[in-house]
Structure 1
C-alpha cells in the first residue's frame, strides 16, 4: 500500500510550519506510515483523501478485522497533545483512542482511532440542524483538564498568534486588526474558566459514527474558556453568509444564538470570533489564499 501524502496535507504543512521543516518529514511519511501500520499488525484499506491539514489518515483494519483509522502526524504538530486530550475524553464526544494502553510500546507518534464516516460530517446537514448538533457535541468536550497537563492556554496561543498580526502593514486593514488585538488583550487578561477545549471545533470536525451519531475529530487542544472554542463555529459556512443578502445580520444573530444555547457570554464570544476571523484572514493572505482571506476579513468587518 503506497502512503502518498494528499496534496492538501503537503500544502497545509508547508503553510503552517514552513517547507524547511515540513519537507523532510513529508519525504519520510510513506515509510513512517508503513512502519506504524506494520507495528500494529494493521491491514490498510486506503489513505483518506483529501484528508486533514496536519496528518495523514489511513483507513485500516486491526488484526481481528475490526475497522479503525491510523493517524500519522509529525512531532512538531504535537500529536502527543491530541493523544492526551483523546485519552482524557475517553470517547465522550470524541473519537475513541484505541491504543491508549499500548501507545508507549508502539514507539511512534501515530494514533489508532475508532473509524468514523469521514464522508458524513455536520456540513451534510441543513445549517440550523448542523448548529444544533454541533452545540450538543462540543459541550461534551468541555471538562476539567487532567492534572499535570501540558496543554497551552488560550492566552498563550493567542499571544503567539498576535505577533504576525501586529506586524501587518496594510493601512486599509489597520482598524480591523487593531480592534481584533484590543479584543484579544481584554479577553485574555482574565479568563472566566479553564476547561479542556477542542481548539479547532467546526462542523467538518464532527463526523458520523457507529457508537454515537456524531463524534469529534482533529482536536488542537488547549485550556481556557468555552467562548474561544465556539468562535470558529460562528463563521462556519462563511461563504454562504457572505453570499446572502442578510449575511451581516445573520452572522450577528448566530453569535447570540450560540451564546444563548450554551450559556456563554455573547460579548466574549463576539470578541473571540472577531479575533479568530481576523487572525485566520491575515494568515490566509500571507499564504496566498486570497479568496479565503477576503471572505474572512469581510465577515470580521460585519461583527
Structure 2
C-alpha cells in the first residue's frame, strides 16, 4: 500500500470554479467527495502521488503518480457525464494508437490510470501551421472502425440532442441576436445526417490543447468524448482552433475559410460537409457559452460561424 502522500492534493482552482458553474449541485457534490475518492485509489492501486497537474481539466483532477514499481503514470479522476462515460472504452479500443494508453480504469466512478505524457506541452506550443500538420496525423490514427458491439453514441443521436438544446436556448432573451445564425444552423443536421460517410470512432473534442507531447509517439490525444460517425464532426472543432489568434489576424474571414479548405483536403473530408459541421458546432457552442455567462467567448464563436 502506498504511504501517506506528503504533497498537496487540493483540486485546482479552475476545476472548482468550472464544475460549480457548469454542473451546479452535482458538481459541488462530486467535489466534496473527491478527496476521499483520490485517497481510495492511491491506496487501492498502490500509487505514490508526486503533484497535482495545474491547471488541470475542466471536469477532472489529474495527479502525477508513481506505480508500485516506480513507473510514472497519471491518475485522472473525472465527473462522469453522458459525454465522458465512454472515455475508457475509446482509449481501450485505440490501445495507444494515436491516444494516451489506458493502464487501469474504474469506468463507473470516472477513475483512470494513464500512461504519463508531457502535460505541459500540447500542440498549442507549436506554430499554427506545424500544429495543424501534427493534428491531422493524430486524427488519421484515431479514425478507425468501431467494434461491431461498440457502446458509443452515434453522431446522429448526439447531434439531435444538441439541436434540441440549441432550440430551447435560442428562445431565451439573451439569445435574441443569435437567432438568425441559430435558424441557419438548425437546418443543417437533416442534410448532414441524410447520407453520412462510413462511420469511424471519433475523438469528439479534438483540438490542439487535447494533444500532448509523448515518448512513445511524438503526439498523443487525451480527453476524448467519443462518438461514432462522420469524420467531419471531429474535424470541425479543429477548424476553429486558436480562435482568438485567428480573429486578430488580418482578413480573419478569408483565413478561416482557407484553413477549412486545407484541413478538408489534408484529411479527404468533403469541404461543404466540413463547412456545415463547423458552422453548426460553432453556433451550438456559442449559444451554450452565452447560456453559462461567457458572453465574450460566445460572441466570438458566433462571429466565427458568420465567417463561414
Structure 2 length-normalised TM:
0.92
Equivalent position to 2:91, from 86, 90, 107: 86
Distance between the aligned counterparts of 1:58 and 1:175, measured in 2?
44
| 1:35 alignment partner, SS class | helix
1:49 Cα deviation after fit: 1.2
Runs of 4+ in 1 over 4 A off after TM superposition: 77-80
Q: Which residue of 2 aligns with 1:50?
A: 55
The residue number in structure 2 matching 1:278 is: 283
Q: How far, CA to CA, are the matches of 2:46 and 2:235 in structure 1? A: 39
- The answer to whether the aligner puts 1:191 opposite 2:196 as a matched pair is yes
CA contact (8 A) 2:144 2:201 kept: yes
Q: Over aligned residue pairs, what C-alpha RMSD do you find?
A: 1.6
1:86: how far off?
0.4
**Per the alignment, in what secondary structure is the counterpart of residue 81 of structure 2?**
helix
Q: Are 2:116 and 1:126 equivalent residues in the alignment?
A: no
Gaps of 5+ in 1: none
- Using the size of structure 1 for normalisation, the TM-score is 0.94
Instruction: Give the 5 Å matches for 1:171-250.
Output: 171-250=176-255
**How many residues align structurally?**
298
How has the CA–CA distance of structure 1 residues 245 and 158 changed in structure 2, closer, same or farther, with 3 Å as cutoff? same
Cα distance change on mapping 1:77 and 1:40 into 2, 3 Å: farther
Provide the rounded CA distance (Å) in 1 between the counterparts of 2:276 and 2:84.
29
Which residue in 1 is equivalent to 2:11? 5
Distance 1:11 1:158, change over 3 A: farther
Correspondence for 1:287: 292
1:12 deviates by 2.9
Deviation string for 1:206-243 (max 9, x for gaps)?
A: 10001111000000001001110000000011001111
Q: State the distance in 1 between where 2:140 and 2:297 align.
A: 28
Secondary structure at the residue paired with 1:56? strand
Match for residue 79 of structure 2 among 74, 86, 89: 74
After superposition, what is the alpha-carbon deviation per residue over 1:134-155, rounded to whole angstroms, capped at 9, x for unaligned?
Answer: 0001110001112312111111
Cα gap change, 1:79/1:296 in structure 2, threshold over 3 Å: closer, same or farther?
Answer: closer
Q: Is the 8 A contact 1:120 1:207 kept in 2?
A: yes
Change (3 A) 1:107 1:259: closer
